Amino acid sequence: MEHNYNWQAKRAKNAFLALEDGTVLYGYAVGARVDKVGEVVFNTGLSGYQEILSDPSYSGQFVTMTYPEIGNIGINEEDMESRKFFLSGFVMHQMNEPSNWRCDVSLEQRLIDEGVPGIAGIDTRALTVKLREIGTLKGFLHCSEDNISEEDAIQKAKEWCGLDGQDYAAKVTTPEIYTWDEDDASVNTWGVLHGRDLPPVTMNVVAYDFGVKWNILRNLRVQGMNVTVVPANTPASEVLAMKPDGVFFSNGPADPSAVSYAIEAAKELIGKLPIMGICLGHQILSLACGANTFRLKFGHHGCNHPVKNLATGEVEITSQNHNYAVALDSLPECLEATHMNLNDNTVEGIKHKTAPMFAVQYHPEAAPGPHDPEYLFEQFADMIKNA
């Protein structure tokens, strides 16, 4: 008996993902019918695929979902984490038709509308094991009607420059300055306030957009901050001219060492204003202080990474998305590690010993993920108030 959920069984496996190591995985083309190159990573989250799709930090990457059933919730505008999908491609075991009351459009239709290729029907867990054993791989995703051989696709994957040394923050940042959610229409969405009243604005903060997620901006507003978002290449002098009470360095994609203009801006701003950073912002601030970064074997992408707070001894379950990390043995005298990853002992947080500045590698705003580290936004507010 044929079940409705097995609709993909009727499709021909006419799409494939070719990896630089020679592996070719066939599946169903389920998104835009285009071909693209990208870096293949895996995400271990059980839910939140829409927030993952709209996270600008995935720019240049093919995201493989380890959870086998994707698409049931569809796509809705309220759960977007940025203005569009920035990833290069989406890899799934099975993509389902939506069956949720919040759905505005199906996942497949949104992928088509966004011009993002998707592939389903492959063994995503086998692919994940390969990436864990070998490390992140470059890939070529063939979803178009064009004729291309496996050999040519593998060669295209090998020839692609990859993400090392590439400035992708410039590709995803806002093109102009704007004030986040001036009418507070987007703040009280799906539990951000936790039943609290939205506080009045008492602080003005400038947020560098290297690929910022909207839930970060929501959490800053919940702390009473009016947030002005600026492009990634905004000079420190322009930020200082705005006379903010604090500065935020956001998450973002690719190699932090390539975002040299942001590192220079951070050098000028540290010590002059309270500063908080997340993910790429954490790496940029660390580099500005003299630390080094390195590429992880397969990155951290998921919603269940255990992180130890070294000050309290407590363990936080965190949401993460990054392929680079700050080297612990490179921390200069002015910085100290505040949080460590319990899976691989990499640095997850730093603070400046004399200047009002701290940053974390993980995502305290979640979306998707747990809210254990949400206190960090309050810590930033307290830092501003005490400055």
Residues forming the active site: 279, 363, 365
**Whether the Cβ atoms of residue 135 and residue 298 lie closer than 8 Å to each other:** yes
Residue 38 structure tokens: 């990208």
CA dist 205 and 227 (Å) reads: 5
Distances (CA, A) of 190 to 79, 102, 218: 9, 12, 11
Backbone angles phi, psi at 340, to 5 degrees: -130, 145
CA dist 265 and 207 (Å) reads: 13
Q: Which of 363, 298, 305 is nearest to 64 (CA)?
A: 298
Question: Per this entry, what is the length of the chain?
Answer: 387
Give 64's contacts (C-beta < 8 A, 6+ positions apart).
40, 41, 42, 43, 91, 92, 124, 127, 128, 131
CA dist 265 and 288 (Å) reads: 9
Q: Which of 295, 296, 272, 280 is nearest to 352 (CA)?
A: 272
CA dist 51 and 66 (Å) reads: 16
* 3-class DSSP string for 200-243: CCCEEEEEEECCCCHHHHHHHHHCCEEEEEEECCCCHHHHHHCC
Q: Where are the alpha helices (DSSP H) in the chain?
A: 49-53, 107-114, 124-134, 150-159, 169-172, 214-222, 236-241, 260-269, 280-288, 375-386
CA dist 106 and 62 (Å) reads: 20
- CB neighbours of residue 173 within 10 Å: 23
SS3 175: coil
